[in-house]
Structure 1
């Protein structure tokens, strides 16, 4: 892996999955989603976008360098890169990040990755329709969120753009808007639970 603060390399024609979040802290659930996404969506690589902060959360995360180092401990995969590129780009919202990445890497295809819990609240994100209409979106089910995600505002608005799970490998080559919901056995680990456990020690 390269320096987490440097711009990662995007090769012409590659399909790269983007998994964003505060990763506060990163855990096996993130790693599991990543490995499954590589397989199910036939991605060339995945970049973890460790964000400076989550606009939907009231309290700031742990220091960036600490979260980047911890994330690299959690995922050790030749096709996965942990990066702090959002801090370099100066973007705060996902839609801004995607616009900046597409401008910087015009020959690379990106797929935005998220857990089903994020799809359920996607309509609360800044410029959420721009996200759906700029890159394909791969949604991976997490425990307890499958029904709410499928009934979410985003799922209803873009129901005509949904690719069946049986054709999930088509996602990277699809033109946005396009999204695919993959039902998988997921790790119940969460960053919130890990922080709470650490606070009790």
Structure 2
């Protein structure tokens, strides 16, 4: 089974995440996509993050009706701050029967050469890229790499930051979130 790993803080997960994941799983050779909830991204301030299990719960609520989309807490028990290569190594050891691929926005590909052991990642895993509007250029080594696959998908300009800021200002964000995620956020008074 070919598993696509979609990493993110999902703070909160929104319809853009689901649109991208569904587009990828339905239009590639990926059998499933696991939303890997990251406990702490070294590039983000930890204070802005909801609790790990609250974000995992939102991902579960958002994906439970989609058989090919799953939530994953795999990084919760890994040493922090964590690097993608450590997660991939751990998953390969734990599930040798699966092939694991990465899913990332085109913007992340522009800085991929800065990732820890990116060469090892490319040697052992495929990467599925979805389009994003961003500045900068992609390193030529990645533009025609046999393990990097560009997948046609709509360009989604919704971000979790936009959702959090709108909630803080008392705006209606219901159309931007899966219904049960919106209910959960509203009941818990998150981001207000």
If the length of structure 1 is used for normalisation, what is the TM-score? 0.75
1:83 and 2:69 matched: no
- Taking the TM superposition and a 5 Å limit, the aligned residue runs for 1:37-56 are 37-56=24-43
Change (3 A) 1:46 1:192: same
Whether contact under 8 Å (1:19, 1:112) holds in the other structure is: yes
Match 2:6 to one of 19, 23, 35: 19
1:32 and 2:5 matched: no
How far apart, in 2, do the equivalents of 1:115 and 1:73 lie?
23
CA deviations 1:141-169 (Å, max 9, x no partner) are 13x23x74xx323xx1234424xxxxxxx
The total of aligned residue pairs comes to 167
How far apart, in 2, do the equivalents of 1:63 and 1:118 lie?
25
5+ residue gaps, structure 1, are 1-13, 163-177
How far apart, in 2, do the equivalents of 1:159 and 1:42 lie?
20
Change (3 A) 1:33 1:25: same
Corresponding residue number in structure 1 for 2:60: 72
Whether contact under 8 Å (1:32, 1:186) holds in the other structure is: no
CA deviations 1:99-121 (Å, max 9, x no partner) are 11111111211111111122122
CA deviations 1:59-118 (Å, max 9, x no partner) are 342101110111122223012110111113446111110111111111211111111122
Corresponding residue number in structure 1 for 2:86: 96
How far apart, in 2, do the equivalents of 1:107 and 1:50 lie?
22
Whether contact under 8 Å (2:24, 2:153) holds in the other structure is: no
Corresponding residue number in structure 2 for 1:197: 166
Whether contact under 8 Å (1:22, 1:52) holds in the other structure is: yes
If the length of structure 2 is used for normalisation, what is the TM-score? 0.79
Corresponding residue number in structure 1 for 2:187: none
